[in-house]
């Protein structure tokens, strides 16, 4: 039997009531960690923590409010005596307008408040408790949309590019204190959140067809990016297996951003 890779560790995950965050919480617990699930959706988050068992607790947290991010970090430390991993996963899709000309800048500001400012607040307050211990792991969810233009609407793409930048600049400082900072950059995971966003972009198209279209667009045939793939990447980065990995954007995309193939026309 394989030893638990996160045995004895304490983790805080934002956006953990559903989707990638919840899947990651489940994987962390399976690998031996105690997990604090943080989310703005109180009822859903409480239910998720209950279902995950005694190793999970829930704390309400709106990442656009720095005081709530700080309080979630303090809660984890008070409850468990330490905090080893903070995974800044909470995010929103933002405006789905396909044209920069029509971009709603008020909505853009709201998207940046969650996807960028919320991540930076998470990095800040994770560092606050990790630097004195000279140990810790900070993770952030980026996206292929932050690597490759045209993969998502402008606001979301810009915000996820900024997440990757925040990871690099934070790693530049925190490496000197023994704290690792990394990003995970997934291909589209067809969670209910993702399907809802695509439904707004392509009204009238059946959900099944939307999911099939995303899966066909991937480069790695015979496989689709699922929540658990991102969760397992997070387990790796949070574990001692990745003890010398920092400032990295771990792309989980089946080669989508690595290359483009030339398709010749039929003769």
What tens-digit pLDDT sequence spans the chain (267 residues)?
Answer: 667 999 999 999 999 999 999 999 999 999 999 999 999 999 999 999 999 999 999 999 999 999 999 999 999 999 999 999 999 999 999 888 888 999 999 999 999 999 999 999 999 999 999 999 999 999 999 999 999 998 888 999 999 999 999 999 999 999 999 999 999 999 888 877 677 777 777 777 787 887 777 777 778 888 888 999 999 999 999 999 999 999 999 999 999 898 877 777 776
**206 within domain boundaries:** no
**216 within domain boundaries:** no
**CATH number reported for the structural domain that contains residue 163 in this entry:** 3.40.50.720
Q: Which two tokens stand for residue 24?
A: 């990651």
Q: Which two tokens stand for residue 170?
A: 């934070």
Return the closest-CA partner of residue 188 out of 264, 87, 256: 256
Per-residue model confidence (pLDDT) at position 29: 98
Q: Which two tokens stand for residue 120?
A: 């930076």
Task: Note the pTM of the prediction, 2 decimals.
Answer: 0.93
Residue pair 227/234 in contact (Cβ under 8 Å)? The answer is no
**137 within domain boundaries:** yes
Q: Which two tokens stand for residue 208?
A: 């099944």
Residue pair 249/166 in contact (Cβ under 8 Å)? The answer is no
**265 within domain boundaries:** no
Domains in the chain: how many in total? 1
Active-site annotation holds for 187: no
Cα atoms in the Cβ-side hemisphere of radius 13 Å centred on 82: 12
Residue pair 60/68 in contact (Cβ under 8 Å)? The answer is yes
Could you tell me the residue range of the domain that residue 46 belongs to?
10-191+227-252
**208 within domain boundaries:** no
Query: 50, 75, 87, 156: which one is catalytic?
Result: 156
């Amino acid at each position: 039997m394989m030893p638990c890779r996160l045995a004895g560790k304490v983790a805080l995950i934002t956006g953990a009531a559903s989707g990638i965050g919840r899947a990651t919480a489940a994987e962390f617990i399976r690998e031996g960690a105690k997990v604090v699930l943080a989310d703005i959706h109180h009822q859903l988050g409480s239910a998720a923590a209950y279902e995950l068992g005694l190793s999970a607790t829930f704390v309400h947290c709106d990442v656009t409010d720095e005081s709530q991010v700080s309080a979630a970090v303090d809660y984890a430390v008070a409850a468990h005596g330490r905090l080893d991993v903070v995974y800044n996963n909470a995010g929103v899709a933002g405006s789905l307008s396909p044209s920069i000309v029509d971009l709603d800048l008020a909505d853009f500001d709201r998207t940046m408040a969650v996807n960028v400012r919320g991540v930076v607040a998470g990095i800040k307050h994770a560092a606050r408790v990790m630097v004195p211990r000279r140990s810790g792991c900070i993770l952030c969810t980026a996206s292929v949309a932050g690597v490759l233009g045209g993969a998502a609407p402008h606001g979301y793409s810009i915000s996820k590019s900024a997440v990757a930048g925040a990871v690099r600049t934070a790693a530049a400082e925190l490496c000197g204190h023994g704290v690792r900072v990394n990003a995970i950059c997934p291909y589209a995971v067809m969670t209910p959140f993702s399907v809802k966003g695509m439904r707004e972009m392509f009204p009238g198209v059946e959900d099944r067809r939307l999911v099939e279209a995303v899966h066909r667009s991937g480069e790695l045939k015979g496989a689709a990016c699922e929540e658990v793939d991102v969760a397992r990447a997070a387990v790796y980065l949070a574990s001692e297996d990745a003890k010398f990995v920092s400032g990295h954007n771990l792309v989980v995309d089946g080669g989508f951003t690595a290359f483009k193939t030339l398709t010749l026309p039929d003769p």
